[in-house]
Amino acid sequence: MRGPHNIWRLVKTLATLERTGAIGVVLEAMHAPPRLRLVARVLGWPFKWLGLQGDLALPPATRALTALGPAYIKFGQILSTRPDVVGDELAEQLKYLQDKLPPFPNAVAKRMIEAELGLPLEQMFSEFSEPVAAASIAQVHRARLADTGVEVAVKVLRPNIERAFRTDIDAFYFAARAIEFLSPASRRLRPMDVITHFEGVVLGELDLRLESAAAGEFAANTESDAGFTVPKPVWHLSARQVMTMGWAEGLSMSDNAAIDAAGHDRVVLGTRVLQLFLSHALRDGYFHADMHQGNLKVAANGDIIAYDFGIMGRLDEYTRRVYAEILFGFIRRDYRRVAEVHFEAGYVPADRDIDEFARALRVVGEPIFGMDASRISMARLLAYLFEVTERFGMETRTELILLQRTMVVVEGVARSLDPHINIWQVARPIVEDYIKQNVGPKALLRDLGRTARVLARFGPKLPRLVEAQLIRQAEVEKPVAIRRDVHPLIWVAVGAGLTGLGVWAGTLL
């Protein structure tokens, strides 16, 4: 229920951050302005006694986020992949949130599985372990199928997790409304739409049947990708609160020491994880949108194994082309073209100065070229990029939120493997290949063929549709009466011609 009662939740959030000492740690790590730090401390201090204590054995930020609940843990997982934004020490502490949270009892998990699947556990699994990983939404057990002996991973949702998420999301809605009311300038960022998008993503993650479907589709899309593996779901042992899939054996992507000891090349792995993400987003329009280290492993043969498909992203073909052209413009340092694409796509209001926007984009892109990646402050770049969007009146594009958020996470994963990685150099071959295939004469011919085929399917209906439109127009403008005995014949001919054109295009393409 979204109402003023959520003030309590937000006060408790600030109080918890203050009580655990997290508020100072996070603001310091992110180099927040002194004024913001002062305001946060002044607002939080009077309510400090209301805050949650959390696990005293954990560092301040991790302690606060785990105490506050699953939605806050999700936020911490994102920060854990960005040592360039929050610093190495805080990022390392937050990695705890990826898969090392306290599990719920094994007996509870077994009861939930039996209730969901309607069979005794022994009939389904000959072996069933204690939890091997626990995250914000679910925990995972290692098991063996009773009928085949195949090793599998069994994922079980945390009890009452949906209610916990809804509580947090309600508070986020209230905060978004308050921000829009108190700061009209913030409305261009569409905070309410952002929370709505987040709610849809999270609630979809709470139905493991959808995750099973996502795993199956993603596995099919990436089957031929070298150096990449996706475990497949076991459908007859999956339901809303339980998902069974093939076991993924490998080293955690967050354990650099183990990866080095096993003889894997982290530079190669960093390049591969970034290029794979771009390939899935651009080529397939369907990508893993939660690619932090806790959801990635390195197999003995060096393959990257991805799992946990609760959050997946989709991009339509037009958005993919826009995104590719923006990336390609940055890669070629053609900031004028990057600016033009933003205007063409409607991302920047048409009344703004395109040359000024191109100059502002140059400030974002140039520091990345010719400089060691370890010397680039992504925190400062992100802060400047935010200033640019505000200055030019750019609204938040909810269809790109998941893509942008995942790009930030994946870049963080790549940098954790190779601190000197240059994202533009790594991205170049993937983006160039996509541009060659999808922007230019070849793509134009393919688009024309698709358009003709679509029109051809509607060929038989075109006479009636066009005549009805002409009659409506005639009634408005009162022109000479339309001859109903002639127009249908004309449009039947047009429909037939389009049908033939569609067939011809289909044979060519």
Residues designated catalytic: 290
Cα 427 from Cα 423, distance rounded (Å):
6
Amino acid at 232: K
Closest C-alpha among 98, 96, 160 to residue 135: 98
Amino acid at 252: S
Question: Which two three-digit tokens encode residue 194?
Answer: 């952002």
Please answer whether residues 271 and 226 qualify as being in contact, where contact means their C-beta atoms are separated by less than 8 angstroms.
Answer: no
Cα 22 from Cα 1, distance rounded (Å):
28
Q: Which of helix, strand or coil describes residue 152?
A: strand
The runs of H, that is alpha helices, within 396-486 are 398-417, 423-438, 441-457, 462-477
Cα 146 from Cα 148, distance rounded (Å):
6
Cα 269 from Cα 453, distance rounded (Å):
42
Cα 17 from Cα 323, distance rounded (Å):
37
Structure-token match 């987040």, residue found: 198
Q: Angle of helix 398-417 relative to helix 423-438, nearest 10 degrees? A: 130
Class of residue 411 by CB neighbours under 10 A (exposed 0-12, middle 13-18, buried 19+): buried
One-character DSSP codes across 355-396:
HHHHHHHHHHHGGGTTS-GGG--HHHHHHHHHHHHHHTTPPP
Q: Which of helix, strand or coil describes residue 168?
A: helix
Q: Which of helix, strand or coil describes residue 250?
A: coil
Closest C-alpha among 205, 234, 334, 228 to residue 283: 228
Closest C-alpha among 85, 4, 90, 100 to residue 55: 100
Pairing of strands 251-252, 304-306: unpaired
One-character DSSP codes across 295-307:
GEEE-TTS-EEE-
Q: Which of helix, strand or coil describes residue 1?
A: coil
Amino acid at 478: K
Question: Rg of the Cα trace of the chain?
Answer: 27
Class of residue 476 by CB neighbours under 10 A (exposed 0-12, middle 13-18, buried 19+): exposed
Q: Angle of helix 191-205 relative to helix 161-182, nearest 10 degrees? A: 170
